[in-house]
Amino acid sequence: MSLEKLGFGLVADLFRFNWIRRRAFVTVVALLIAASIVAPAIAAETVAIVAAHLIDGKSDQARHDLAVLIEGDRIVAIGDVEIIPADTRVIDLGSATILPGLIDTHVHPLIREDDYQTDHLRESSAAKALRGLKAVQDSLHAGWTSLRIVGDTDVFYAPVEIRRAIDRGLFVGPRLAVAPHYLSITGGGGDINFFSPEQHLIADGLIVDGADEVRRAVREEIKYGGDWIKLLVTGAFMSAGDNPKDVHFSPEELEVAVAEATRLGVPVMAHAHSAEGIKQAVRAGVRSIEHGTFLDAEGVRLMVEHGTYLVPTIYIGDFYIYERPDAEAQQKMVELSMKYRDEFLANIGAAIRAGVKVAVGSDFGGYDPLINAREFASLVEAGMTPMQAIQAGTSVAAELLEWDDRVGTIEAGKLADIIAVSGDPLEDLSELERVIFVMKDGAVVKAP
Ligand SMILES: [Zn+2]
């Protein structure tokens, strides 16, 4: 007895239709499986980069006339040009110097103006996300293949969304590690201290007082995708109404912040200028000290002992002194940078000589990302060799971010984040302001 005779014609039609669909489905699945077997062989194209000079981010000397072989997103070999297999696509950069992609461990890409403390009130989170995306893409084109965003001017989580969009492949952009906000005490560097008490504005920082609020804020930052926790442990140079020589968080608040973040597997960075604030943060177990202006001998000793990284962000002070001395919202920054410049450089010099691990961080946001590379020359002024400065912005920065298993050096097994400059950066570090070639994850982003 047929299905039609039972009055199930429609069901039979559906069954036949489904049978055809099922056959189509099986065919598609078979094709997909076949494609997934064949695809890696097609996708993992071998590319060779050839250049006269190579700074690998690790060795003390530049190496010469080498080829870097890349398969897919990874570096597979470095050697003489003879290692290049036949039919390999060769990117010949001639007399250029190739280096690992640069890593800036202290950026604020959502900032667009000098008066960042109220700028965040003018734009929606969506607008900030779009502008921030453009800013990090511009940084990538300037040679910065990885960035750590260290709290930014969005009440919501735009930097996290930018990172997710890039990670999902929706946009080309640098590799991002994100602290969504800076945690600040009431009246601290993340608060807005210059309005009348009648105003209850949302601050650019996350204002937390007492151990419970600190703990909750740490949990929320991590809940919404933060990779890092940023604490404003002391007052700041750029914010109005607070003193960088004051310690803001209590030892108890610091301890809770670090303990909670550590328990959840997230590292902590501490913005700290005052000597005492630096020491309290190091003792509490933060992974990096940002700025470190008034670092003293005991602080240096503690940082070496604890293996704490230092991100001094030197050049931005000079930028405001020499390039923007009239910036209305940054008069405190200009004044303090001038007053403490020599002391700051001497303290960073002492840290470098003692073996504190120092990483490149520009602290810029809202300006042409080409100037971020001026931090390299500032580190040399503080006491590094040019090669040490380059390592501070490549291998050491990668270690700070715990990404040294994948980036920071040009070595077999690492992701192919490679840049090139036409001159010799060891002779003239400003070459790093004129990057001519950028590759991230084996994909060419910028070519001469
Ligand atoms: Zn900063």
Ordered DSSP codes for 225-277: T-SSEEEE-B--SSSSS--TTSB-S-HHHHHHHHHHHHHTT--EEEEE-SHHH
Q: 193: CA distance to ligand 1 center in Å?
A: 18
- CA–centroid distance, 230 to ligand 1, in Å, is 10
Give the distance (Å) from ligand 1 centre to CA of residue 365.
Answer: 9
Give the Å distances, CA to CA, from 147 to 55, 66, 136, 394, 445.
20, 28, 8, 11, 16
- Ligand 1 centroid – CA 181 distance (Å): 11
What is the model's pLDDT at position 366?
82
Q: How far is the CA of 154 from the centre of ligand 1 (A)?
A: 14
pLDDT at 210: 98
Tokens of 422: 């036409």
Q: Which of 96, 90, 101, 110 is nearest to 141 (CA)?
A: 101
Residue 279 CA to ligand 1 centre (angstroms): 19
Centre of ligand 1 from the C-alpha of residue 23, in Å? 59
Per-residue pLDDT of the chain (448 residues; tens, 9 = 90+): 444 444 444 444 444 445 445 555 455 445 544 544 444 445 589 999 999 999 999 999 999 999 999 999 999 999 999 999 999 999 999 999 999 999 999 999 999 878 888 888 999 999 999 999 999 999 999 999 999 999 998 999 999 999 999 999 999 999 999 999 999 999 999 999 999 999 989 998 999 999 999 999 999 999 999 999 999 999 999 998 999 999 999 999 999 999 999 999 999 999 999 999 999 999 999 999 999 999 999 999 999 999 999 999 999 999 999 999 999 889 999 999 999 999 999 999 999 999 999 999 999 988 899 999 999 999 999 999 999 999 999 999 999 999 999 999 999 999 999 999 999 999 999 999 999 999 999 999 999 9
Ligand 1 mean position to 79 CA, how many Å?
40
Q: Give 418 Cα–ligand 1 centroid separation in angstroms.
A: 26
Rounded to whole angstroms, how far apart are CA atoms 389 and 165? 31
Backbone angles phi, psi at 395, to 5 degrees: -65, -40
CA of 384 to the centre of ligand 1 (A): 22
Distance 393 CA to ligand 1 centre (A): 16
Q: Which amino acid is at 279?
A: K
Sign (positive or negative) of CA dihedral 88, 93, 94, 98: negative
Q: What is the pLDDT of residue 154?
A: 93
- The total number of residues shown for the chain amounts to 448
Q: 64 alpha carbon to ligand 1 midpoint, in Å?
A: 37
Distance 266 CA to ligand 1 centre (A): 19
State in Å: Cα 106 to ligand 1 middle. Answer: 6
The rounded Å distance from CA 44 to ligand 1 centre is 39
Span from the CA of 112 to the centroid of ligand 1 (angstroms): 13
Q: What string of DSSP letters covers 79-112?
A: E-GGGSPTT-EEEE-TT-EEEEPEEEEEE-TT--
- Report the phi/psi class of residue 355: left, alpha or beta, with left for phi > 0 and alpha for psi in -120 to 50: left
| Predicted pLDDT at 44 | 80
Please state, in angstroms and rounded to a whole number, the distance separating the CA atoms of residues 140 and 441: 12
- Distance, CA 234 to ligand 1 centroid (Å)? 13
End-to-end alpha-carbon separation of the chain, Å? 75
CA–centroid distance, 380 to ligand 1, in Å, is 21
**Residue 14 Cα to ligand 1 middle (Å):** 63
Determine the 3-state secondary structure of 6 from DSSP. Answer: coil
Contacts of 256 (CB under 8 A, 6+ apart): 211, 214, 215, 218
Dist. CA 439–CA 47, nearest whole Å: 11
